[in-house]
């Protein structure tokens, strides 16, 4: 059984990772996963009560400030804790100023000095001691050691200012992180909280979306969210689908149109017949994809996380080395200790540990807002290296909605009769060509008893004592055609075509401008494939390909070390989507197999979103490296200056806090990035 809880008090992703590792060693906890940005803890266990009690106990030992909220009604108490921290900090600062500026007896001086240091940094010292007893040292230990060391060498002002500025920095970091968390959570705030079910007596009953069954009728009023996917059965209304597809323009729907859960009714009242249960509806798919996005981390994020485990210990050893070198050169113990302490202060890993994962999560959040659902930050990284994009044709580059453009008569039957015979068999098929044919039927079709559909071939059926076949027997037809046979005699050929999507040409143009090769792999005949390729400007196009042929083509690309993405929407695309470096499925209403096999899901059928995804990934990567370089250069500069005695401890702590805040604010640029 899996349960999710809110978790408060975690200061950085590194803290979350350390706690997650310890939770996974629990006796009653099968597995634990912490979402730092969303402040949630997911626990899988056989006994919920024992597991959460064990989790609370481990949290107190590893992260004293971490609080697992079992009762959601108590989750707002953290605001009071922040207010108390600010008040104690201000009181400590006032005492520090008085202590350092007013002459007083020695006993009073030390009383006020110690009181000031405790008020400003009691949490830091407590965390350092708690974790030290568990055999763990982190930035809290570095700061505590710096305060004690500065006091011992007579730099009392620096000691107090270090802990004061560090605490101010942590409060500001927390505020910046909470703002970013709130921004990201707003992107996923699409879950409908309720639905109005219309019962047999035509009464409206307020229910949880999970209670709605397929075939139920629900009513959605202006300002409310559609609870489940369904079909409009009355009323014409306008919907806001921006949170699902990223498209800002309202969408008008009328009777017979499909509507997606999470859409917001802008005007009027909408009656819908449910076609899916909530767990299988669009909004549920989106939330699952977003919630699991942090499972697969980018290589940069993973490396930073691994380094953070040994970083603090390494810094302490280096600080001892600096102390030894300075002592050997200056022959002054106090000077050596002081410069070693500067090394400790400036080396806190917060800037790296917070900004890198925050940048990636912001990138995933921004993409989600635009209707691009990325299953992990590692795929954002791979997108930046893409050199080729392989496209399926039908439903990907084209609309997938076929229209009859010509009917070729091969006997005495009229064109209308040939189409009618085709409709008789195709009415039971879900194939795109079948839907294109039956869309043109205006007559009521009889129910057939003897009918059989063979995948990749067509439909066999009997009607008025005659045997019919609708499908394709001739393999050398040059266009998209469906043959109609009566008693094994060809009576007509129906020619169809599907339109190229409006956004296909701009997508191909933009990809080529980025230096990315564009290729089409289609099961359609060569003639149609070449026509489409020429019209949209593809670099290469191949037709008459079976799913295994596409798979082999991608295998060959990978052997040639070509980093590539495959874009498709059908069940037969699943193997290719899985094999590609990045599999991109088109549309949340596409096949479950393709959505499951893909790494990125485009919520609507817009190929231009692929270009947006690549641009977001490149901007995210750019911000990640900006933060890494900014933090590294700043720290190395002040390490050098501090070691040489040019700057003091105050400069070091200001630089450390400042670069962390800058890195966090820079990460938030990813969340607001817009290619336009």
Predicted pLDDT of residue 505:
94
pLDDT-based confidence at residue 615 (cuts at 50, 70, 90): very high
433 in any annotated domain: yes
Between CA 312 and CA 584 the distance in angstroms is: 40
Alpha helices by DSSP H, 498-647: 504-513, 526-536, 547-559, 574-579, 592-597, 608-643
Please report, for the domain that includes residue 211, its CATH number: 2.70.150.10
231, 262, 229, 258: which is closest to 245 by C-alpha? Answer: 262
- Whether 122 shows a pLDDT value over 50: the answer reads yes
Predicted pLDDT of residue 521:
92
Instruction: Specify whether 534 is located in the same domain as 592.
Output: yes
Rg of the chain, C-alpha, whole Å: 32
Q: 14, 39, 70 — which closes off a domain?
A: 70
Between CA 301 and CA 294 the distance in angstroms is: 11
Burial 59-95 (b: 16+ CB within 10 A, else e): beebbbbbbbbbeeeebeebeeeeeebeebbeebbeb
Strands 251-253 and 600-602: unpaired
Between CA 93 and CA 457 the distance in angstroms is: 81
| Greatest mean pLDDT among 54-58, 126-130, 384-388, 634-638 | 384-388
Angle at 536 between CA 535 and CA 542, to 5 degrees: 85
pLDDT-based confidence at residue 78 (cuts at 50, 70, 90): low
Q: 600, 616, 632 — which closes off a domain?
A: 616
- Whether 589 shows a pLDDT value over 80: the answer reads no
Share above pLDDT 90 across residues of the chain, in percent, rounded to a whole number: 21
601 in any annotated domain: yes
Predicted pLDDT of residue 564:
94
Burial class (CB in 10 A: 0-12, 13-18, 19+), 172: middle
Between CA 455 and CA 478 the distance in angstroms is: 21
Instruction: Specify whether 531 is located in the same domain as 595.
Output: yes
37 in any annotated domain: yes
pLDDT-based confidence at residue 185 (cuts at 50, 70, 90): low
What residues are annotated to the active site?
A: 392
How many CA atoms are closer than 13 Å to the CA of 562, on its beta-carbon side? 21
Instruction: Specify whether 476 is located in the same domain as 562.
Output: no
614, 633, 625, 629: which is closest to 673 by C-alpha? Answer: 614
Find out whether 549 and 573 touch, Cβ atoms under 8 Å: no
Instruction: Specify whether 411 is located in the same domain as 496.
Output: yes
Helix (H, G, I), strand (E, B) or coil at 648: coil
Beta-bridged to residue 29, according to DSSP, are 45
Between CA 489 and CA 299 the distance in angstroms is: 61
Between CA 176 and CA 668 the distance in angstroms is: 9
Between CA 52 and CA 62 the distance in angstroms is: 15
Query: CA–CA distance from 86 to each of 105, 138, 169, 307, 561 (Å)?
Result: 29, 23, 12, 32, 55
* Helix, strand, coil percentages in the chain from 3-state DSSP, rounded to 5: 50, 20, 30
Mean pLDDT of 370-391: 89
Predicted pLDDT of residue 75:
47
**DSSP H or E segment with residue 93:** helix 78-101
Q: If you average pLDDT over every residue of the chain, what do you get?
A: 82
Between CA 86 and CA 439 the distance in angstroms is: 68
9, 128, 14: which is closest to 59 by C-alpha? Answer: 9
Instruction: Specify whether 387 is located in the same domain as 511.
Output: yes
Q: What is the pTM of this model?
A: 0.72
Angle at 553 between CA 547 and CA 556, to 5 degrees: 145
Between CA 392 and CA 522 the distance in angstroms is: 6
Instruction: Specify whether 25 is located in the same domain as 9.
Output: yes
653 in any annotated domain: no
Find out whether 541 and 528 touch, Cβ atoms under 8 Å: no
Query: CA–CA distance from 153 to each of 113, 156, 159, 437 (Å)?
Result: 15, 8, 10, 89
Please report, for the domain that includes residue 54, its CATH number: 3.30.70.100
Instruction: Specify whether 513 is located in the same domain as 392.
Output: yes
Q: 472, 500, 528 — which closes off a domain?
A: 500
Find out whether 586 and 569 touch, Cβ atoms under 8 Å: yes
Burial class (CB in 10 A: 0-12, 13-18, 19+), 167: buried
**What are the pLDDT digits (tens) for 517-555?**
999 998 877 888 888 999 999 999 998 887 888 989 999
- Whether 294 shows a pLDDT value over 60: the answer reads no
Q: Which of 185-199, 501-515, 615-629 has the lowest mean pLDDT?
A: 185-199
For 221, which DSSP code?
E
Higher pLDDT, 175 or 332: 332
Predicted pLDDT of residue 362:
83
108 in any annotated domain: no
DSSP secondary structure of 488-541: TEEEEEEEEEEEEPTTHHHHHHHHHHTT-EEEEE-SS-HHHHHHHHHHHT-SEE
Between CA 362 and CA 620 the distance in angstroms is: 8
| Greatest mean pLDDT among 132-136, 304-308, 532-536, 568-572 | 532-536
Tell me how crowded residue 357 is: count the other CB atoms within 10 A of its CB.
27
Helix (H, G, I), strand (E, B) or coil at 434: helix
Domain, as residue range, for 588: 368-397+501-616
Burial 21-57 (b: 16+ CB within 10 A, else e): ebbeebebbeebbbbbbbbebebebeeeeebbebbee
- Whether 440 shows a pLDDT value over 80: the answer reads no
Query: CA–CA distance from 626 to each of 301, 452, 613, 632, 665 (Å)?
Result: 14, 61, 20, 10, 12
346 in any annotated domain: no
Query: CA–CA distance from 601 to each of 367, 381, 674 (Å)?
Result: 10, 16, 19
153 in any annotated domain: no
Instruction: Specify whether 446 is located in the same domain as 578.
Output: no
Instruction: Specify whether 488 is located in the same domain as 529.
Output: no
Please report, for the domain that includes residue 547, its CATH number: 3.40.50.1000
Angle at 313 between CA 312 and CA 315, to 5 degrees: 65
Strands 517-521 and 388-391: parallel
pLDDT-based confidence at residue 584 (cuts at 50, 70, 90): very high
| Greatest mean pLDDT among 59-68, 453-462, 512-521, 642-651 | 512-521
Higher pLDDT, 672 or 581: 581
Tell me how crowded residue 450 is: count the other CB atoms within 10 A of its CB.
9
547 in any annotated domain: yes
**What are the pLDDT digits (tens) for 224-253?**
889 898 898 876 788 887 766 656 668 888
Please report, for the domain that includes residue 462, its CATH number: 3.40.1110.10
Mean pLDDT of 488-495: 92
Find out whether 83 and 171 touch, Cβ atoms under 8 Å: no
Instruction: Specify whether 536 is located in the same domain as 467.
Output: no
Predicted pLDDT of residue 179:
67
Find out whether 143 and 162 touch, Cβ atoms under 8 Å: yes
Mean pLDDT of 9-18: 70
Beta sheet of 258-259, edge-to-edge order: 204-207, 195-198, 217-221, 269-274, 230-234, 258-259
Total count of domains within the chain: 4
Instruction: Specify whether 525 is located in the same domain as 455.
Output: no
pLDDT-based confidence at residue 95 (cuts at 50, 70, 90): very high
Instruction: Specify whether 414 is located in the same domain as 453.
Output: yes
Predicted pLDDT of residue 595:
76
């Amino acid at each position: 059984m899996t349960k999710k809880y809110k978790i408060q008090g975690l200061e950085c992703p590194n803290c979350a990772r350390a706690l997650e590792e310890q939770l996974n060693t629990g006796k009653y906890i099968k597995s634990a996963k912490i979402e730092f940005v969303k402040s949630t803890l997911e626990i899988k266990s056989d006994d919920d009560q024992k597991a959460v009690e064990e989790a609370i106990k481990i949290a107190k030992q590893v992260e004293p400030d971490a609080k697992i909220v079992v009762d959601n009604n108590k989750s707002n108490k953290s605001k009071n804790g922040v207010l108390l921290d600010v008040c104690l900090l201000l009181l400590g600062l006032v005492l520090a100023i008085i202590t350092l500026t007013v002459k007083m007896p020695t006993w009073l001086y030390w009383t006020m000095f110690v009181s000031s240091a405790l008020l400003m940094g009691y949490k830091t010292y407590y965390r350092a001691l708690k974790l030290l007893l568990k055999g763990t040292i982190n930035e809290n230990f570095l700061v505590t050691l710096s305060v004690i060391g500065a006091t011992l060498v007579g730099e009392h002002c620096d000691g107090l200012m270090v802990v004061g500025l560090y605490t101010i920095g942590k409060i500001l970091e927390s505020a910046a992180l909470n703002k970013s968390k709130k921004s990201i959570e707003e992107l996923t705030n699409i879950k409908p909280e309720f639905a109005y079910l219309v019962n047999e007596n035509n009464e409206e009953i307020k229910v949880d979306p999970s209670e709605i069954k397929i075939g139920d009728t629900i009513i959605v009023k202006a300002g409310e969210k559609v609870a489940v996917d369904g079909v409009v059965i009355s009323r014409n209304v306008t919907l806001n689908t921006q949170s699902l597809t990223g498209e800002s323009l309202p969408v008008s729907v009328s009777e017979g149109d499909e509507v997606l859960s999470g859409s917001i009714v802008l005007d009027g009242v909408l009656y819908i017949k449910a076609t899916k249960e909530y767990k299988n509806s669009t909004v549920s798919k989106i939330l699952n994809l977003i919630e699991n996005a942090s499972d697969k981390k980018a290589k940069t994020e993973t490396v930073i996380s691994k380094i953070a485990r040994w970083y603090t210990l390494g810094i302490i050893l280096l600080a001892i080395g600096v102390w030894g070198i300075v002592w050997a050169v200056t022959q002054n113990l106090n000077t050596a200790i002081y410069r070693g302490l500067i090394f400790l202060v400036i080396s806190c890993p917060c800037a790296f540990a917070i900004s890198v994962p925050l940048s990636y999560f912001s990138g995933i959040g921004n993409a989600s807002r635009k209707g691009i659902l990325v299953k992990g930050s590692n795929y954002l990284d791979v997108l930046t290296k893409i050199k080729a994009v392989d496209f399926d044709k039908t439903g990907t580059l084209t609309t997938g909605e076929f229209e009859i453009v010509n009917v070729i008569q091969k006997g005495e039957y009229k064109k209308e009769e040939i189409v009618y015979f085709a409709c008789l068999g195709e009415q039971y098929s879900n194939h795109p060509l079948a839907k294109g044919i039956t869309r043109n039927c205006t007559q009521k079709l009889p129910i057939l008893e003897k009918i059989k559909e063979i995948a990749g071939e067509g439909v066999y059926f009997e009607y008025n004592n005659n045997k019919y076949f609708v499908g394709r027997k001739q393999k050398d037809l040059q266009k998209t055609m469906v043959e109609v046979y009566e008693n094994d005699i060809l009576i007509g050929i129906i020619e169809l075509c599907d339109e190229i999507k409006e956004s296909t040409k701009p997508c191909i143009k933009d990809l080529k401008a980025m230096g990315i090769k564009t290729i089409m792999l289609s099961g359609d005949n060569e003639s149609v494939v070449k026509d489409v390729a020429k019209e949209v400007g593809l670099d290469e196009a191949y037709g008459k390909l079976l799913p295994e042929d596409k798979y082999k083509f991608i295998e060959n690309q990978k052997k040639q070390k070509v980093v590539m993405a495959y874009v498709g929407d059908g069940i037969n695309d699943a193997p290719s989507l899985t094999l590609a470096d990045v599999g991109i499925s088109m549309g949340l209403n596409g096949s479950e197999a393709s959505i499951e096999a893909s790494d990125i899901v485009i919520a609507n059928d817009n190929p231009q979103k692929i270009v947006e995804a690549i641009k977001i990934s490149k901007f995210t990567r750019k911000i990640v490296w900006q933060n890494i370089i900014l933090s590294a250069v700043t720290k190395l500069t002040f390490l050098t200056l501090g070691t040489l005695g040019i700057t003091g401890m105050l400069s070091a702590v200001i630089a450390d806090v400042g670069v962390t805040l800058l890195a966090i604010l820079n990460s938030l640029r990813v969340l607001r990035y817009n290619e336009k």
